[in-house]
Amino acid sequence: MTNDKKQPSVNDGLSRVDGRLKVTGAAKYSAEFAIKDLVYGVLVGSTITKGKIKSIDTKKAERASGVLAVVTHLNSPKVPGYQVATDPGKPAVKGPVKVFYDDQILYNGQPVALVIADTFERALFAASLVNAQYIAGKHITNLKDNLGKAVSTHDDTEYKRGTVDAFKSAPIIVEQEYMLPSEVHNPMELHALIAKWDAADKITVWDKTQGVKDTQSNIAKLFHIPVENVQVNSKFVGGAFGSALQVWPHEVAAIIGAKVVKRPVKLVLGRADMFTSVGYRPLTWQKIGIGATADGKLVGITHHAVGQTSTYEDFAEGPTNISRSLYASPNVNSSNKILGLDVGSPTWMRGPGDATGAFALESALDELSYKLKIDPIELRLKNYAETDPESGKPFSGKNLKDAYKLGAEGIGWKERRQEAGSVTKDGWLLGYGMSGGVFGADREPATVKATMLADGTLVLQTAVSDIGPGTATAMVAIASETMGIPASQIRFDLGDSLYPNAPQQGGSTITSSVGSAVYMACKDLKEKFQQLIGNGGEDKPNYTKVLKQHHLTQLQVITDSKAGSEVDKYAMYSWSVHFVSVLVNPATGVIKLGKVVCVADSGRIISPKTARSQVIGGAVMGIGMALMEEAIFDDRYGRLINNNLADYHMPVNADIPQIEAIFVNKPDTNINPIGAKGMGEIALIGMAAAVANAVYNATGKRIRNLPITPDKLVDWVALT
């Protein structure tokens, strides 16, 4: 629901413009294209965690029925972009794994061979026949035991405002450690690629990617071919939360394989491979210190974090950044370090950094509210930042107070009791919790081609991908309102590198960036029509009639859009508040969610239906983070032991209660002309802390090591 029906919204009842294609199966995803002479690839992964390949026997696989080739480091064509020269005696340049480059093993599951056959089943069988022998080295995969080895990677990892560790001088102090386990990307669509070489220096790929232009550029650089000779198609993406923001080894392997067999190669990762091959949210240790006066004014915040990365690639997501800007604390200092372990590289995952940091910060602030005997909302209002604490700039738009009020009313916050563990309902412990979230609201450059055809159809084209939030629907809504024509007359073409430039779909930037480009392109197109009509033209003319009068088959514009001087004037963020009620069984520790209310302050709501879906999806993901998701390593062998959807637990329908999505819905026209800001990240950020805070309110037991499973709640000593 929106806060005020009088607030501007566009096409309130518009359903997904690609919905029918998806539910009928007409939408084609990357692995579903029927390419002539297509063959199939299956990867063979390393069974050790660190060391090198002693030998690799592929003879049995090569002799198996239907097998066309087996590619390893011994026979792989060289990838020109991999040949990075380094000075003797200096450490190797860090970066993504160079598949089939040498005999070195850097993590368990690293691809060591690619089997290509005329059917998938034959390739899968032949892959089981590849026999690799290894010389294993000593591996390290445990973060907690090696925190002292963590290092800073760049200047931004250390931050200081005011006095360091000022919280220690405050009358009321909370200082605690928090652990967030690795969470794994598990979208419905497996990562997949079809690679087809059209010539020695020309290639077409059908790829699951969040950015066709970036994938195009990366492939061109890796294989030293002109960027215009790389065509990337990604018309539909079946879910991605950051895992498709880069080119992974399996994609390069498929391209290599296609070059070897001189036929198009399809490679689809298995579900187990999804746990090792396309990144994850890094396991992160955090320590928070917060100090306040007796009346609740913050004195200082200290936030330290160590995140897991690989030994070959430095990945830092920035979980401490949220402590700099969410509240008006005069003293803040933080450090963000990484620890290289013998694991595959982590990557961006929805709400990167801030979702991790919010769990620690918002849990600690909730702990502080109990020490102060102050309502958690009141504590936040006492420390409400009217201007950006980090930069000192005014906010482009901030309506977080409205969000607190709307969420409190929606959840029934007045029923909450400050004393933890004091309320029961039908024999279950009842509790309420809340948490805030924030994420930067950016606007990236984007270009849109807008063409009005003679039959009145408006065609919009740009190279953006749509990973599921309903990008095409939002863009059609903007164009419909701007041009004054029904949504049914608008076609939005996307997901092809042949189209004009657009940013990757990540970081909650697409509506702000591409949406602004669509709006401006439509304005430019209308202006072009006005020039044809002359003085006295209508604001929303009959476009078909005008084209016919001027003997034109179409009218077209190409419009560039980017941020202006406003980026220097304002601090730009989207905000959220999450409210949760829970029931906890005192005997078993089982948690049932009662109700979830999420409030988004993300500017103007362009597409209410898909916006609501975004918020609900983020809430569900946050529930998984809080209660279920955890990638578990057996450190003896350095490998995951729950790399499947039976043992890696995620929420299902039965776990999810009523979720109410509320929008403040106040345009922020300081950031862009359409007044919209990002929503995908804030839908998740803070949700896990809201659940944890509700569990504490119900039970009096503070869980700082996610996920919150029943065994962590039940007092087994008391039971025995």
pTM of the model: 0.95
Rounded-to-10 torsion of CA 227, 228, 234, 239: 20
Q: What are the structure tokens assigned to 532, written together?
A: 């044809």
Q: Looking at residue 6, what is its pLDDT?
A: 44
Q: What are the structure tokens assigned to 696, written together?
A: 């504490």
Neighbours of 426 (CB within 10 A): 6
Q: What are the structure tokens assigned to 652, written together?
A: 């299902």
Neighbours of 271 (CB within 10 A): 12
Q: Looking at residue 153, what is its pLDDT?
A: 76
Neighbours of 199 (CB within 10 A): 8
Residue located via tokens 């990757």: 504
Q: What is the CATH number of domain 443-562?
A: 3.30.365.10
- β-partners of residue 338 are 151, 307
DSSP alpha helices (H): ranges in 608-709?
Answer: 608-627, 687-699
Report the alpha-carbon distance of residue 115 to residue 129 in Å, rounded.
Answer: 10
Among the four given CATH numbers 3.30.70.260, 3.90.1170.50, 1.10.1740.10, 3.20.20.70, the one describing domain 33-138+194-240+244-273:
3.90.1170.50
Report the alpha-carbon distance of residue 320 to residue 441 in Å, rounded.
Answer: 18
Low-confidence ranges of the chain (pLDDT < 70): 1-12, 83-91, 154-156, 536-537, 716-720
SS3 at position 144: helix
SS3 at position 591: strand
Q: Looking at residue 717, what is its pLDDT?
A: 41
- Beta carbons within 8 Å of 192's beta carbon, 6+ residues apart: 29, 30, 31, 207, 208, 266, 267, 268, 269
Report the alpha-carbon distance of residue 682 to residue 108 in Å, rounded.
Answer: 33
Report the alpha-carbon distance of residue 139 to residue 145 in Å, rounded.
Answer: 13
Q: What are the structure tokens assigned to 261, written together?
A: 């067999």
User: What is the fold, at CATH topology level, of the domain defined by 140-187+279-390?
Assistant: Aldehyde Oxidoreductase; domain 4 (3.30.365)
SS3 at position 460: strand
Q: Looking at residue 404, what is its pLDDT?
A: 98
Report the alpha-carbon distance of residue 407 to residue 660 in Å, rounded.
Answer: 9
* Catalytic residue (choose from 317, 629, 660, 681): 681
Q: Looking at residue 157, what is its pLDDT?
A: 78
Preceding peptide of 503 cis, ω within 30°: no
**Closest by CA position to 602, among listed 515, 480, 519:** 515
Report the alpha-carbon distance of residue 377 to residue 396 in Å, rounded.
Answer: 23
Q: Looking at residue 719, what is its pLDDT?
A: 45
Q: Looking at residue 534, what is its pLDDT?
A: 87
Q: Does CATH number 3.40.50.300 belong to domain 393-441+571-720? A: no
Q: What DSSP letter does each residue of 541-554 carry, written as one string?
A: --HHHHHHHTT-SE
pLDDT tens digits, one per residue of 186-210: 999 999 999 999 999 999 999 999 9
Strands annotated E in 553-657: 554-561, 573-584, 591-601, 633-634, 639-640
Q: Where in the chain is the domain with CATH 3.30.365.10?
A: 140-187+279-390, 393-441+571-720, 443-562
121 is catalytic: no
